Structure 1
Amino acid sequence: MGKLQDFLMEAQIGTTQTEVQIAPFPYPFIVKSITEAENKAIRKTCQKIEFDKKTRQKRIDTDTDLYNARLVVACCVEPNLKDAALQEKYGVRGAEDLINLILNPGQYTDLLLAVQEINGFTDDVNDLRDEAKN
């Protein structure tokens, strides 16, 4: 066996959690990582399949705003955005609508960045572009 396989045989694979302080909330949001299988399931729910009649080819488009909202909801442990009582208090149905209502754009971006970081989406596209130029 190779070193990586040895590591994988001994490693405890699981989710990690972290706290994200977002002003002006007095308590931190708690976010967790998800697996690639969960990520694929979320992405699939955000895809729209269209068929081009002329070329007879299938085109898959992903609604990135919906994907990001569902990713945040799936990773947010505290508060539980899927809680019906919390949704009812704010007069919305659905966790995505709740997160869009309780956070302003800057707060949402901070939470999304924390969710992306805990899930390993840490490479900034601009950094990769700069590396490619050099």
Structure 2
Amino acid sequence: MSKLSSFLKENVKEGKRSKEVFVSDRFSEPITIKLLSPKELARCQDAAVSIRNKKPFFDTKAYNMELIKISIIEPDLKSAELQDSYGVMNEEDLINEMFTGAEFTKISTEVNEFNSLDENINDKINEAKN
């Protein structure tokens, strides 16, 4: 098989596209997070960039919130019933009401690990050298 053929869609192995995460014992069911596409990651980055003092500013908190909002597929954070039960009207407020700080951190860590966003480029360089 040529190198090119290994990249043809029909020859690419389908990897795991979602993962169940037990956030804490407060919830009897796990949440489900998904693997993000490059387009979705770019949307999260774009949402976190603003201009401050005529310079681009990257808001890490906004980026993490966007990652979590777009990554959680179960429960549906856009569900009016779920939002109503917490007395909120959008996904971000729902996340802030629904989860504790520790749960938010766990979800953020799981999303980053599942999408390989936690890998340090310097670690990869050192690994390649050895």
State whether TM-score is above 0.5. Answer: yes
What's the counterpart of residue 18 of structure 1?
19
Partners of 1:105 and 1:30 lie apart in 2 by 18
The reply on whether 1:105 has 2:106 as its aligned counterpart is no
What's the counterpart of residue 78 of structure 1?
74
Partners of 1:93 and 1:85 lie apart in 2 by 10
Q: What letter is aligned with 1:18?
A: K
SS in 1 for 2:33: strand
Give the alignment partner of residue 32 of structure 1, picking from 22, 34, 50: 34
Structure 2 length as normaliser, TM-score?
A: 0.80
Q: What letter is aligned with 2:111?
A: V
Deviations 1:20-54 (A, max 9, x none): 012111111111011111110121122112454xx
Partners of 2:90 and 2:16 lie apart in 1 by 24
Q: What letter is aligned with 2:12?
A: A
Backbone CA RMSD of aligned residues: 2.5
State the aligned residue count: 122
Structure 1 portions without partners, runs of 5+: 53-58
The reply on whether 1:42 has 2:44 as its aligned counterpart is yes
Partners of 2:92 and 2:35 lie apart in 1 by 18
What's the counterpart of residue 6 of structure 2?
7
Q: What letter is aligned with 1:32?
A: K
Q: What letter is aligned with 2:42?
A: K
Structure 1 length as normaliser, TM-score?
A: 0.78
Check the 8 A contact 1:22/1:110 in 2, yes or no.
yes
Partners of 1:30 and 1:124 lie apart in 2 by 25
Counting aligned pairs with the same residue, the percent is 28
